[in-house]
Amino acid sequence: MTSVQGFANRVLASVEQVILGKRPVIEKLLVAFLCDGHVLIEDVPGVGKTMLARALAASMDCTFRRIQFTPDMLPSDVTGVSIFNLKTQEFEFRAGPIMAELVLADEINRAPPKTQAALLEAMEERQVTVEGKTHPLPRPFLVLATQNPIEYEGTFPLPEAQLDRFMMRVRIGYPTKDEEVRILESQRDHHPIEDVRAVVSREALLEAQAQVRQVYVDERVKEYIVDLVRYTRHHPAVYLGASPRGSLFLYKGARAWAAMHGRDYVLPDDVKMLAPDVLAHRIIIQPEARVQGVRQEEVIQEILDTVPVPGGLGEDGR
């Protein structure tokens, strides 16, 4: 898995020119990319959500489009529209910004539900249907969405069906004092995003995705993944547990994490590393627990501390 590790290291080095001190977050986004999954970046304003997405796009030789979601946006503004051509006397499809390999859905929760729903088919089936005709999306197809969790006026919360289609929900967090000083210094003359160039090709990404699918996962690790997800459905503080899609994404993510670290087999620690980001946004907390301040991440951490970790795995993960 050295080629996957090399791929990840090149992208990490490129993005870290722009996003300082957030290597774990960048690594998790790369995991999603290697699994052909989508990511929701949820955090307060000004911590670099949009800039992180732009830096990743600039580091990869993929077509990139940004959609700035607004309350007056229509579904056709995302998917595209059919226009009648007077010369040919036929309808022609004018593709929307969703027809790109890497799509930044900025402030996704500002769009009304009807427009948000335009992304459902695209994210799950990699196609869009306009006026009864289906149009396939390019491969790879990756959605990076951002939203502000504390600003509710003029926003429309994402429905559970759409949240479930995101492989991960990640948070960036504030930088440390030293990191913030480095940020000031890095932007003394110009923004470092202007210096970022593609360091990997689209073909390299597709090849890395194919190699990740060859990573070995022991039966005991598969059972551990399913046990974690099943426990979310029976936890007393949880009203709605994670779906089987959560198990599948955790399985895929653990393989990508292992490959990024030079292994062709998955360890339970790989699963534990990604479980909070993959599972937390898939559960709904009971109202009484929510009043007491119970958070989704706390529930997942409690489950990780409770479910027994499989032992006896050898150095090759078997």
What CATH number has the domain bearing residue 296?
1.10.8.80
Round to whole Å and give the CA distance between 26 and 47.
Answer: 14
- Predicted local distance difference test score (pLDDT) of residue 2: 64
C-alpha neighbours within 13 Å on the C-beta side of residue 24: 8
Q: Is 119 domain-assigned?
A: yes
Segments forming the whole domain that contains residue 223: 215-306
200 plus 221 within the same structural domain: no
Q: Is 317 domain-assigned?
A: no
- Predicted local distance difference test score (pLDDT) of residue 1: 58
Q: Are 174 and 47 spatial neighbours (Cβ–Cβ below 8 Å)? A: yes
Q: Is 24 domain-assigned?
A: yes
114 plus 18 within the same structural domain: yes
Amino acid making up residue 285: I
- Predicted local distance difference test score (pLDDT) of residue 111: 86
Indicate left, alpha or beta for 21 from its phi (over 0: left) and psi (-120 to 50: alpha): left
Looking at 208, 235, 250, the residue that finishes a domain is: 208
| Burial classification of residue 306, based on how many CB atoms lie within 10 Å of its CB (0-12 exposed, 13-18 middle, 19 or more buried) | exposed
Q: Which of 21, 34, 40, 27 is nearest to 278 (CA)?
A: 40
User: In this structure, how many other beta carbons lie within 10 angstroms of the beta carbon of residue 176?
Assistant: 11
For residue range 22-55, list pLDDT tens digits in order: 899 999 999 999 998 999 998 888 888 888 888 8
153 plus 168 within the same structural domain: yes
- Predicted local distance difference test score (pLDDT) of residue 47: 83
- Predicted local distance difference test score (pLDDT) of residue 57: 85
Q: Is 129 domain-assigned?
A: yes
Looking at 174, 208, 242, the residue that finishes a domain is: 208
238 plus 179 within the same structural domain: no
- Predicted local distance difference test score (pLDDT) of residue 245: 92
Number of domains within the chain: 2
For residue range 51-101, list pLDDT tens digits in order: 888 888 889 888 888 888 888 888 888 888 878 777 777 777 788 888 888
- Give pLDDT < 50 ranges for the chain: none
Q: Are 97 and 81 spatial neighbours (Cβ–Cβ below 8 Å)? A: no
CATH code of the domain covering residue 111:
3.40.50.300
- Cα 312 to Cα 199, 228, 318: the distances in Å are 40, 19, 8
